Structure 1
């Protein structure tokens, strides 16, 4: 999976996309027809639910950006990566890692998220 790093960067870009139409189009392109996103804060089944979950995160943390924090570790159709959420160029308020499972065509099918650092 030589393009996994690029897929993860595009995945994080979706979390930063504030234009609803552009975000929804990117989700439609990057995720399978029946995807699942799970983290400690909730479960999103389907593209519409994932879009809503991302929009809610943007409302909870206005002006913050998701960025990679380290290298992507991948094998077969699975990747794990650490990410940060914070102000552009500033200290991260939230740090977590996700495990992504890709479909045979390379699209995201399942993402399991974990939170390592959250605001108090």
Structure 2
């Protein structure tokens, strides 16, 4: 893999944090394969367009939300797992906490399997 795993995870978080649509699409293109999939308890999307639409919907529902790394990164066999925190910048307590497993291929993320440990009510 040409990119480090920590760079790949940071690129993942950057994609979630980018609010400019064009810049977000560029981040997704840089960090995800064309045929990527993303599955969590609230969504199952396929392809870069599907992922972009889901991220845009989350940002619209929770304006100003920022995703940060919440744990050490654990990796083996082209997969990585980590915890993330999400909430307003500077908040002491995250509004949401999740655990993701991502499978990568040729330096990009192909699949994400997400779990929500804490989430705001819908």
Instruction: Tell me what 2:28 maps to.
Output: 27
Paired with 2:31 and 2:64, the residues of 1 have a C-alpha distance of 24
For the residues of structure 1 that align with 2:59 and 2:120, how far apart are their CA atoms? 15
Return structure 1 stretches of 4+ with deviation > 6 angstroms. none
Match of 1:64 in 2: 65
1:8 has 2:9 as partner: yes
> Residue 23 of structure 1: SS of its match in structure 2?
helix
Structure 2 residues without counterparts, runs of 5 or longer: none
Residues 45-56 of structure 1 aligned to structure 2 (within 5 Å): 45-56=46-57
Q: Secondary structure at the match of 1:47?
A: helix
TM-score by length of 2: 0.93
> What root-mean-square deviation, in Å, do the aligned CA atoms of Structure 1 and Structure 2 show?
1.2
Q: Secondary structure at the match of 2:84?
A: strand
Q: Deviations over 1:83-115 (max 9, x none)?
A: 011111212000001000001x11100000000
1:87 alignment partner in structure 2: 88
Name the TM-score, length of structure 1 as normaliser: 0.95
Instruction: Note if contact 2:99-2:115 (Cα within 8 Å) is conserved in structure 1.
Output: yes
SS at match of 1:79: strand
CA contact (8 A) 2:39 2:114 kept: yes
Residues 9-44 of structure 1 deviation map (CA, whole Å, 9 limit, x = unaligned): 111011000000010011112111111000000111
Distance of 2:35 and 2:116 partners within structure 1: 24
